A and B are shown apart, each in its own frame.
Chain A
Amino acid sequence: MDKNIFIEKILIPYLIPILLILFFSVIILLFLNRFAITNINSINKKLKRKINVFLPEILLGGLSETGKNLEIEKFKNDIHFNNYWFKELLVKSLIESKNSLKGVAEAEFRKIYEAFDLDKHSYRFLNNLFVYYKKKGIYQFEMMDYKPAAKDIEPYMYHRNKKLSANALIAYIILTDKDVSFLINIKYEPSFAKEIEILEICKIRKFKRPDLLKDFLLSDNDFIVRIGLRLAVYYNASDLESEIANCMDHKNPQVRELAYKALGSLFLVDKTDEMVSRYGNETANNQTQIILSLREIGTKDHLDFLKPLLLMSHRNELEIARAIKSIDSNTLLTMAHDNKKVNKIEKHINENLLK
């Protein structure tokens, strides 16, 4: 195409005006957006200031029930409490206060939560069509420890969106405070992070040992088996020795790793030889775990396995040395005397500041 035709037919009449419009539109949008941010920030600041005065007064002010009700009504009259932004700010402040103020009764938070219809606000999110808002609703119920919502959250544990169902699962466990045996019905595999969360909930909330813990270890769902092994350690379930030992044959290396860990933590010494016999066929991670467990349950019979390993291995030297030391410290001393590398390792593991 001739350059002049390109300039006259395309560049000047179309391309440059379009780009100019785009350029100036973005600048205008930038200004409008900044104007909106400034306005919202200023409104939020005012509301936040009021909330920051109101919340401590109710939660820590030592007011009587009537006094609290009066304060709440007064505050309601003072602000537009049906405003979306206000509700969002109040829920956020309540969650922050709940996390930071220890010793304030749950009922106090719930009273405010319900008085300002924040429960309905969270339900509106839960019933929203979009998964993001459902997760937001679940989050608010969970953080507010709002137990009546448990039954409404329950169906979402089986939702096809895996992230939503995993979030609902955690919230449901927290809100129901009941035996986690129902986990056996879970068909999907939440992430490792959720595994840890579930274990921590059981610890912090001091849940009783699940009735179906044994079935957890026999589940087809690897996630449930992993949870089962973690819980078996936490509940000191040495009665499940054979089920735990069977997990050493599991196809999933992560399950096997937890099985080795459980054998060590529960001091199931009868299974030590079986565990050691698997060492050569295991993944690198699992080999490390076997060494770590041997530190707990190894006997002098295992020194013949550990000693050459320490001299030849280029991995896990410190763990192997620690295992030998815990079985027989003299053996390690003798080895350290004869071998320069072991000598350095021995010094390292005996160094108090490195423990």
Chain B
Amino acid sequence: MIDYFSTFLTWFEYFILVFMLSYILFFLVLAVSSYLAIDKNLRLKYDLPKDLMLKSNQVLGISVVVPAYNEGDIIVDNLKSFLSLQYPKFEVIVVNDGSEDETLDKLIKNFDLKKVDFYYDEKVKTRRVLGHYKSTNPVYDKLLVVDKINGGSKADASNAGVNSSRYPIFLCTDMDCILKNDTLTKLVLPFMVEKKRVIATGAGIRISNNCKIKEGTIEEVRFPKKMFPRFQELEYVRSFLFGRMAWSRMNALLLVSGALGMFDKKIFFEAGGYWNESFGEDFELITRMRKLMHDKKEKFAIRYIAESLCWTEVPSTTKLFVTQRSRWGRGLVQTLKVHRKMFFNPKYATTGILTFPFFVFFEFLVPILELLGVIIILCSLIFLEVNYDFMLYLLLAVFLFFQSITLISILIDEFIFKNYNNLKEILILIIMSIIEPLIYHPINTFSYLRGYWLFFTRKQPKWGDMKRNGSLTLDLNS
């Protein structure tokens, strides 16, 4: 028996060696590609539209779709912030997704809303829409409120918003997101300048927990105070610098965040809109849109802007964090399963050959391999004579490698964007990165594994799971 285990262990070691080497190699390629993409993006600084274009009514119109579920605490201030975005032609569509609090009442009262006879064309099927509201106050003439029965998902609410929109491009965001004033201009620019058909754009997202916020706008960007938001700050920087930008450069981006994504409405409808049953509707939508474009054999691009344009709250407690990541885990495995035909399918070009397998091997498989690794180490400690020197030195090497990767991402972020205020914040990030593998990473891995488990055991979550709780609100306003 022990002989069998020993043989298995030898093969497992070889497998892990190959896996790790390809992982590291891939990471390095992504890092170089990311750096080049950011550099190219920053060099576009003087190509950005001047004030002249921003006064023109000839620009592409944008509908900003904001689903809201029990957002009574923040809806008035944050909506005013959306309405004050700088762009000549846009509307803001708030979808009240059957809120049980005073969300709709506050909207009606603060924005002088009146129910209107709106011709609702249900291009993507949603739960019943109860009515549309417009403001009688000309100051808020850009606002449209859609009131609907709760559909149990952000996807359903977003679909109702897009169904009600009038412009060819739409931005999907969340009510708790705070956008930079020129977000629309920067996100829509690729749609207006690229030769290829741009079907979606996204941009960097940062953490708003602890930022000083007044009337829906950020007065001062502050570093998160709590441990989990700090870890996530680190994670966002790393994924932005070593992931999204690189994928964007290769035109192989498979994920545009649900908190900030701009889309071509025509392709969105052709693809069937957000999938109501999805646990990761943003990831699934992009995968489906890419699939559609490949099926149509039409050239297209999905772009990522090398700048943080959105600040959002992230879970600040272990419970909320585990819930969120479990959902992401479910979303990942569900999307990979639904679109499995794309896996190594040359018909889907880079999506099928590169991005999809990357997500299968290095996103989906990693938590499982980590769990397997822990089990095997424990078994080895019990049944075999373990070479502790080898284990510890190898562990140290892996630790140092990933530490260096994380620190390099902080360095690039600091060098290019100068997002931090002082040395103290940098020191905190360094400490966080050192303790990350011991605290944050195991919880994250556990959450993903829990998500996989929930998916395979078919347990149904609700959108309300990730609703901000008191502590998050407290963070935001403190």
Chain A residues close to B by CB (< 8 Å): 3-4, 6-7, 11-12, 15-16, 19-20, 22-23, 26-27, 29-31, 33-35, 37-38, 99, 132, 135-136, 138-139, 142-143, 163, 166-167, 170, 191-193, 196-197, 199-201, 204, 230, 284, 314, 317-318, 344-345, 347-351, 353-354
Write the nearest CB–CB distance from B361 to chain A, whole angstroms: 24
Q: Which of B193, B194, B400 contacts A19 (CB 8 A)?
A: B400
A193 touches B192 (CB 8 A): yes
CA distance A333 to B306 in the complex (A): 52
Whether the Cβ atoms of B47 and A351 lie closer than 8 Å is: no
Alpha-carbon distance A205/B422, docked complex (angstroms): 46
Looking at B1-9, B53-61, B275-283, B451-459, the stretch in contact with chain A turns out to be B53-61
* B397 / chain A contacts, CB cutoff of 8 Å: 11, 15-16, 19
A-B contact count (CB 8 A): 132
10 pairs from A and B in contact (CB 8 Å cutoff): A12-B393, A20-B400, A22-B404, A23-B404, A37-B418, A170-B50, A191-B193, A351-B117, A353-B135, A353-B141
How long is the Cα–Cα vector from A314 to B393 in the complex, in angstroms? Answer: 66
Q: List 19 additional A-B contacts (Cβ < 8 Å) besides A26-B411, A354-B116.
A: A7-B389, A7-B390, A11-B393, A22-B400, A23-B403, A26-B408, A27-B430, A31-B426, A33-B411, A34-B422, A34-B426, A38-B422, A135-B47, A143-B50, A197-B50, A200-B52, A200-B53, A200-B58, A284-B266
Does B423 sit within 8 A of A, measured CB to CB? yes
For residue B387, CB closer than 8 A to chain A, the reply is: yes
Given A19-B397, A197-B52, A200-B53, decide whether A353 and B116 contact each other with a Cβ distance below 8 A. yes
Complex CA distance for A56 and B141, rounded to whole angstroms: 37
Contact partner of B423 (CB less than 8 A), chosen from A26, A34, A138, A344, is: A34
| A contact residues around B387 at 8 Å (CB) | 3-4
Q: Is B49 part of the binding interface, using a Cβ–Cβ cutoff of 8 Å?
A: yes
- Which residue, B55, B58, B415, has most C-beta atoms of chain A within 10 A? B58
For residue B383, CB closer than 8 A to chain A, the reply is: no
Contact A138 B116 (CB under 8 A): no
- Tell me which residues across on chain A come within 8 A of B393, comparing CB atoms: 7, 11-12, 16
Cβ distance B257 to chain A, nearest Cβ, rounded Å: 25
The prevalent SS among residues of A at the interface is helix
Is B400 in contact with A351, judged by CB distance below 8 angstroms? no
Chain A residues with CB under 8 Å of B141's CB are: 353
Q: Does B189 have its Cβ within 8 Å of any Cβ on chain A?
A: yes
- Write out the residue numbers on chain A whose beta carbons fall within 8 Å of the beta carbon of B266: 284
Interface size class on chain B is: 35 or more
Q: In the bound complex, how far is the Cα of B389 from the Cα of A12, in angstroms?
A: 10
Q: B407 near A: Cβ within 8 Å?
A: yes
- Taking CB atoms, residues of chain B closer than 8 Å to A23 are 400, 403-404, 407
Chain A residues contacting B117 (CB-CB under 8 Å) are 344, 347-348, 350-351
Partner of A30, one of B118, B194, B394, B407: B407
Chain A residues with CB below 8 A from B404, complex form = 19, 22-23, 26
CB distance from A64 to the nearest CB of B (A): 32
- Are B55 and A200 in touch, CB under 8 angstroms? yes
Q: How far is the CA of A267 from the CA of B147 in the complex (A)?
A: 40
B230 in the interface (beta carbon within 8 A): no
Could you tell me if B49 and A11 are in contact, using CB atoms closer than 8 angstroms?
A: no
CB of B22 within 8 Å of the partner chain = no
Chain A minimum-CB-distance residue to B39? A132
Complex: A170 Cα to B59 Cα, angstroms: 17
With a cutoff of 8 Å between Cβ atoms, the chain A residues found around residue B118 in the complex are 348, 351, 354
Q: Which residue of A lies closest to B144 (CB)?
A: A354
Instruction: Tell me the bound Cα distance from A192 to B155 in angstroms.
Output: 32
**Do A31 and B401 touch (CB < 8 A)?**
no
A196 near B53 with CB under 8 A, answer yes
Cβ–Cβ contact A347 & B192, under 8 A: no
Chain A residues closer than 8 Å to B422, beta-carbon distance: 34, 38
Contact B49 A197 (CB under 8 A): yes
